[in-house]
Structure 1
Amino acid sequence: MPLEATMICVDNSEASRNGDYLPTRFQAQSEAVSLIFNAKTQANPESAVGLLSMAGTSPQVLNTPTTNFGAVLAGLHETKIKGSIRLGTAISVAMLALKHRANKSQRQRVIVLTCSEIDSKDGNDSEKELIKLAKKCKKNNVSVDFVAFGDATGSETRDVLEKFVEAVGGSGSNEGNYLAVIPPGPGLLSDSLVTTPIVNSGAPQEGGMEGVESTGGAGQNNFEFGIDPATDPELAMALRMSMEEEQNRLERERRQREESGQNGERMETITEEGGSSANDSKQPRVEDDKSDGKS
């Protein structure tokens, strides 16, 4: 499995408050970050994953590539929901973070999770500038994957992302540059993402294609995870177990969030009856920044 340093760019814009992906777009990304981190580090224990937010005053590196999952969770916890994404600037900052990675033998990869339309009025996000950036990524051996969902599935944004992937790819190597387009559905974003080459980097692609589109998690062949169990039963079993563990973990987290929410409502009722504020001792969390926007 490849040894990689990966920077995950998360969309923390106002668009991420939308609840068309469960439980919200931002929280769906948080679960996807967990899935990607586990997939990368389980594939190769020396691989590292960093985190970058794309909206707000400017893109911000929350974590440089690390093997410490707790640090990545802390970065997600500190992320504020505001403003609009700056896609081109974010990818450039991610490239800089990868350039200064501790282990120079790690391949460089940027994974962009975006639910926003591209703002062509931003000079760095015009189609011309993004294509120029894609060619720079290729020159510096930086692979780029996109997970487009929400507003990013619109034809204009999707076309630009497809052109970016085409410009950054073309080498014919196994490192791959992929675009996964995931529309809203009853399942989780991470469930759709798990069978794509972005998570399952060993999945073979038809016709040697370097870009692949996922429209809800379907692979490019009829095998689960894109792996033929007859040719590699150990890998197929490992991927299946990893997916089951991830689904169980996400289910536990959802139940904990539901229980915490119910307990919070009970406590709020009690303290209101007692005449004190329910927010006096409440610690700031990512969810607090989405108070009115959460569906």
Structure 2
Amino acid sequence: MVLEATMIVVDNSEASRNGDYLPNRFSAQSEAVSLVFNAKTSSNPESAVGLMSMAGTGPTVLTTPTTNFGTLLSGLHDTKIKGHVRLGTAISVAMLALKHRANKSQRQRIVVLICSELDQKFGDKNDTDKELIKLAKKCKKNNVSVDFVAFGDALESNTKSILERFIEAVGGSSGEGNHLAVIPPGPGLLSDSLITTPIVSVSGDVGQGSSGMEGVETGGAGGAGGFEFGVDPSADPELAMALRMSMEEEQNRLERERRAREEQERQNADRMETITEEGQGQQSANGEGQDGDASKQPRVEEDKQD
């Protein structure tokens, strides 16, 4: 199981108000944040997930990596929708947040949810193709994996191609791959399509190539073969999610039973040790008492001499 510290970067720009993804783009991201958090922490309970926004007055760290989902929800609740995205700056800030993670043994990963078009008249100097490629190489040097979930206006050819080149540049330096999930509008939720991608796949082997770009593009009815439960999650995402939740609940139940069994065995061992010690103490006391009584009784030879 991979031990990771993940920073999820949400797009809180004006474009996130659009309702082409149910119920709107920002709310769709909230569902995706929940899915990514559950996937990361289910894979390894010691993994941590943080949250930040990349629009408004500037990229803002809402929550440093944590295992408390309530903290992430609080961060989402406090997020204001305004302004335009600053993708390059946001990734740089996320890298800095991961650098100061509490557990240095955690691998570093950034998951960017982007629904805005990268346009120089709206963005900043760090959002040019040249600067983003330079940033991708910096991520590779520092062993930071990057995943993009592109939807909405990010599906525009120019933005999509920039993200593809970023993924190619960052490569697979961390050993876990880097992925671009392209999700067009569809009748289902954003999270329903996202569950079919390696970004939230527990096994991490769904359509993963050298840079994690093969077989990741999906749609509202797209599919990913070889799902662990033998069910196509794109055809029936609710069943796939229910099966996964059922598996996790069963694992948790077995873990609780194992712990209870170990605790019971430990208590039984302590009880047997206590009984043994009491028995030895009683035998010792009885032995001393018998020796004392014997010393008080006259010996036969002494009686005859008298």
- TM-score, normalisation: structure 2: 0.72
1:120–1:127 CA contact under 8 A, matched in 2: no
1:105-147 CA-to-partner distances (Å, cap 9, x unmatched) read 0000000000000123521000000000000000000000000
2:59–2:90 CA contact under 8 A, matched in 1: yes
Q: Distance in 2 between matches of 1:89 and 1:238?
A: 36
Q: Distance in 2 between matches of 1:209 and 1:239?
A: 27
Counting only pairs closer than 5 Å after superposition, residues 103-114 of structure 1 correspond to structure 2 as: 103-114=103-114
**SS, match of residue 177 in structure 2:** coil
Q: Distance in 2 between matches of 1:85 and 1:59?
A: 8
Q: Distance in 2 between matches of 1:176 and 1:145?
A: 9
1:2-36 CA-to-partner distances (Å, cap 9, x unmatched) read 00000000000000000000000000000000010
Q: Distance in 1 between matches of 2:242 and 2:101?
A: 31
- Within the candidate set 166, 169, 183, 1:167 is matched to 169
Counting only pairs closer than 5 Å after superposition, residues 91-240 of structure 1 correspond to structure 2 as: 91-121=91-121, 122-171=124-173, 174-205=175-206, 208-212=209-213, 213-216=216-219, 218-220=222-224, 222-224=225-227, 227=228
State the percentage of identical aligned residues.
73
CA separation of 1:199 and 1:112: change in aligned 2, threshold 3 A: same
> Partner residue of 1:84?
84
Is 1:44 equivalent to 2:47 in the alignment? no
1:250-277 CA-to-partner distances (Å, cap 9, x unmatched) read xxxxxxxxxxxxxxxxxxxxxxxxxxxx
**SS, match of residue 37 in structure 1:** helix
1:136-169 CA-to-partner distances (Å, cap 9, x unmatched) read 0000000000000000011100000000000001
Deviation of 1:202 (Å): 1.6
**SS, match of residue 55 in structure 1:** coil
Deviation of 1:189 (Å): 0.1
Q: Distance in 2 between matches of 1:161 and 1:60?
A: 21
**SS, match of residue 166 in structure 1:** helix
Q: Pick 1 or 2: higher relative contact order, CA cutoff 8 A, min separation 6.
A: 1
- TM-score, normalisation: structure 1: 0.75
Whose radius of gyration is greater, 1 or 2?
Answer: 2
Deviation of 1:216 (Å): 1.4
1:166–1:211 CA contact under 8 A, matched in 2: no
